[in-house]
Chain A
């Protein structure tokens, strides 16, 4: 068996499904009048977990370049564990 061509794992499958769903939702929202679009955005926002809301807002301007760098380093070295 060619393990390099293995099926995507559970996480990757879920991420792909989510991306496809998001694309369909974006398409649907684009066809709505502005008021209904805002309503849809509120519903989606409320359905998010707290950390998904944080990600939706983005952290632009919240962290300095040095702080961003530190987070990237921590992310990359996987904490050396």
Chain B
């Protein structure tokens, strides 16, 4: 089955000004117009190779848009979805504007929801602030409760930066458990993309794979000791699935995400994934004029595929390659440019895989499917 995932930047407007975020924009023209939305949806759902399509509603912050925007988006999907085609919707939100009406809508139409929380209030409020500078934690906690009240499957994503590493995995893991949050994942903070940066160029904020491995190994140990099988941590579940011989559900371990994950900007510009914003090499075309078949067959995609194949040829000798499939291309993109300890022969995930392989009993190596979004994003 061919699956296509669209990271839809429905709007670049956002009500927060998170300290590490480069994704928000202000001013006019930052919201996807109906004609772009319609062409994108029709192109995705009518492509004969797309047996399953997932729309990840991203921003900016999608909840700044009126509910009618998403009602209309679903009306378009209903018009163009083909018999037997699987269509999923995921709402990735900062959680500050979850009204009863929005939660009811998300529940009725079976959206999964991902909410960004950066740990306990003392951490979260330092980084995830409103334009006014006020922290957003209390509003996010209310938003999560509203989603729970309406039975919306919700996972939490946390950005890991230097401050998180200082606090350490135990405080973070315990925070999630105390909050009753049982499905969560971690994204290492990303610097702005610098396509022309030479190897070893310092970047801030940036958490390299060695530090992230140490943090995640700590999280894994805590998860194992905690023992609740209902607690799902995206990155750990992904590795456990691969160790159990199952296909990768998380985009990062799928090996070649090129041609399966697209980011669509409000003006219809299409690029590979949302992580490469700012690097023109990853721009593929425009959905107002290009079909998905054309985007996949274009020169930009061909160049990206060649570069990725070269990279994978170098890392494929790694003993853990069968598990990681070369990991996320953006991890190596950053590592090559900014990590002084970069190793061309390994993607950087080998330490965590070995740690999990050594410690996890076979009974914990077959996780159940998760409601948490499986596509990686910046926040």
Chain A residues proximal to chain B, CB less than 8 Å: 11, 14, 50-55, 59, 62-63, 67, 70-71, 74-75, 78-81
Given A50-B110, A63-B72, A79-B291, A74 and B81 contact (CB-CB distance below 8 Å) = no
Q: With A54-B109, A81-B293 known to touch, is A74 a contact of B74 (CB < 8 Å)? A: no
**Would you give 15 A-B contacts (Cβ < 8 Å), ordered by A?**
A50-B74, A50-B87, A54-B75, A54-B109, A59-B75, A62-B72, A67-B38, A70-B35, A71-B79, A74-B42, A75-B80, A78-B46, A79-B42, A79-B291, A81-B47
B78 lies within 8 A of A54 (CB): yes
Q: Is B230 an interface residue (CB 8 A)?
A: no
With CB as the reference atom, state the residue of chain A lying closest to B39: A74
Do A71 and B38 form a contact, CB below 8 Å, given A53-B109, A78-B46? yes
Contact of A63 among B39, B75, B80, B109 (CB under 8 A): B75
A67 to B80: give the CA distance in the assembly, Å.
Answer: 14
Q: A70-B34, A74-B38, A79-B43 are in contact. Are A51 and B291 (CB under 8 A)?
A: no
CA distance A80 to B291 in the complex (A): 9
Q: Is B89 an interface residue (CB 8 A)?
A: yes
CB–CB B83/A62 < 8 A: no
Q: Is the CB of B38 within 8 A of A51?
A: no
Q: How far is the CB of B245 from chain A (nearest CB, A)?
A: 31
**Known contacts A50-B109, A62-B72; is A67 also within 8 Å of B87 by CB?**
no
Could you tell me the distance in whole angstroms from the C-beta of B108 to the nearest C-beta in chain A? Answer: 7
Other than the known A50-B89, A75-B80, what 7 A-B pairs have Cβ atoms closer than 8 Å? A50-B108, A51-B87, A54-B74, A74-B38, A79-B43, A79-B46, A81-B293
- Shortest CB-to-CB span from B48 to chain A, Å, is 8
Contact flags B62-86 to A (C-beta < 8 A → 1, else 0): 0000001001101111111101000
Q: What are the nearest 4 A-B pairs in CB distance?
A: A54-B78, A59-B75, A50-B109, A74-B42
Q: How many angstroms from the CA of A3 to the CA of B72 in the assembled complex? A: 40
In the bound assembly, the distance between CA atoms of A71 and B291 in angstroms comes to 16
Chain A positions within 8 Å of B89 at CB level? 50
Distance in Å: Cβ of A64 to nearest Cβ of chain B: 8
A50-B110, A63-B72 known; A55 and B34 CB under 8 Å?
no
* A59 proximity list for chain B (CB < 8 A): 72, 75, 78
Contact call A51/B78, Cβ cutoff below 8 A: yes
Output the nearest chain A residue to B48 by Cβ-Cβ distance. A81
Q: A14: nearest residue on chain B (CB-CB)? A: B83
Decide if B68 touches A62 in the complex (CB within 8 Å): yes
Distance of A32 from chain B, by nearest CB (Å): 24
Chain B residues near A14: list those with CB within 8 A.
83
With a cutoff of 8 Å between Cβ atoms, the chain B residues found around residue A62 in the complex are: 68, 71-72, 75
Bound complex: CA A53 to CA B87 (Å): 13
Known: A62-B71, A62-B72, A63-B72. Contact between A54 and B77, CB under 8 A?
Answer: yes
